[in-house]
Amino acid sequence: MLRGDLVTTATADPTTTTVARDFTDFRTVVSQSFVPLHVTSEHRDHFRGRIRSCGADDVQLTEVTASAHVVERTPELIARADRHYYKLSLILSGTGLLIQDDREAMLRPGDVALYDTHRPYSLAFEEDFRTLVVMFPQRLIDLPRDLVGQLTAVPMSGKRGMGNVVVPFLAQLGSNLDQLGGPAGVRLAHTAVDLLATLFASELDLARATAGPHHELMRRVLAYIDSNLSSTDLGPAQIAAEHYISTRHLHGLFHEQGTTVSGWIRTRRLEHCRRELLDPVHTSRPVAAIAAKWGFVDAPHFSRVFKTEFGCSPSELRRGLTVSDRLLPPSA
């Protein structure tokens, strides 16, 4: 497709590549590729940009190569959106300055940083650069939003600790974006998000000395829940007893994170069910069997809560997979 100086290609390769030689067109495609953004540049007359993207199951990886510019997510743009995403940038060349939640992160090659599309932020590139952006719904991360919010605009190095494991994987996936459009695309997308959750948890653990007094307890509670999601007995009383606290204290911990114990358990179970329904490996497995595996013993109840959470029934989700073999991320 050719429009002005904007060229978009989509062939047998499942990736989409857009080359813009005009700043106005680049500004448009940036908002179309991510969430609506305000984009400015002092180099409009000689601007160059390329965006290469592929995704699976609401997880989108995008490589951006461009001239210097600034992107801003403003309160006005946020007010028009009803979907909550996280974005993570891995700088491949050049530098970037990310600002969100009164924090600043100067990012250099090999660094990653997280930002929340439902809160204002800005990202400034003062020279030609290349970055890999991972965008995914916040519900895919098995950590409370308030905890993850402590990591926005915090630089994380890809050269040490857990970053030395996660960042090379992301870089390799970025170099092989077409794999997200293949049979293993959904599993690769989920692996990427799970690794990011592990990186975030590691960073939060490193900061636990300065965190609130409930941080370590909450970490153990969440780990216990995830390890016992298949148990139909899992509930506040069992969790509280296992951790030698009162149910009132347990409910207070989750209230601090803006959620409830039962709500958290239900959300985690539904997400595991959704993943298995999308996974071609489980195509022949009955929906009811997948639901029961994750603690839903009442099939009609499972279908109702699943549709409420995801906007479609389990069977409808599975039929969508059969038709296209993968689900592309919706525009935000």
| Per-position pLDDT tens, the chain of length 332 | 333 355 555 445 688 999 987 899 999 999 888 999 999 998 888 899 999 999 988 899 999 999 999 999 999 999 988 789 999 999 999 999 999 999 999 999 999 999 999 999 999 999 999 999 999 999 898 888 888 998 999 999 999 889 999 999 999 999 999 999 888 888 899 999 999 999 998 888 755 544 556 777 888 898 899 999 999 889 999 999 999 999 999 999 898 878 899 999 999 999 999 989 988 888 889 999 999 999 998 999 999 999 999 889 999 888 875 433 333 344 44
Same domain, 204 and 301: no
Same domain, 31 and 155: yes
Domain ends where: 158, 182, 210? 210
Residue 97 domain-assigned (yes or no): yes
d(CA 179, CA 318): 21
Residue 60 domain-assigned (yes or no): yes
Residue 90 domain-assigned (yes or no): yes
How many independent structural domains does the chain possess?
A: 2
The per-residue pLDDT for 128 is: 94
Domain ends where: 182, 210, 238? 210
Residue 76 domain-assigned (yes or no): yes
Same domain, 175 and 247: no
d(CA 292, CA 17): 42
Residue 6 domain-assigned (yes or no): no
Query: In Å, what is the CA distance from 313 to each residue of 82, 139, 183, 273?
Result: 21, 18, 23, 12
CATH code of the domain covering residue 190: 2.60.120.10
Same domain, 133 and 275: no
- What global pTM score does this model have? 0.76
Same domain, 45 and 186: yes
d(CA 131, CA 91): 4
Same domain, 300 and 272: yes
Same domain, 152 and 85: yes
Same domain, 67 and 193: yes
The per-residue pLDDT for 330 is: 40
Domain ends where: 210, 235, 253? 210
For residue 321, give the 3-state DSSP assignment: helix
Q: Are 132 and 62 in contact (CB under 8 A)?
A: yes
* Strand order from edge to edge, sheet including 103-107: 38-40, 69-73, 121-125, 96-100, 103-107
Same domain, 226 and 145: no
Same domain, 52 and 161: yes
Residue 98 domain-assigned (yes or no): yes
Same domain, 154 and 291: no
Domain range enclosing 199? 15-210
Residue 7 domain-assigned (yes or no): no
Residue 5 domain-assigned (yes or no): no
The DSSP H or E segment spanning 130 is strand 129-137
Give which of 75, 159, 166, 68 is closest to 114, Cα–Cα.
Answer: 166
CATH code of the domain covering residue 260: 1.10.10.60
Same domain, 59 and 87: yes
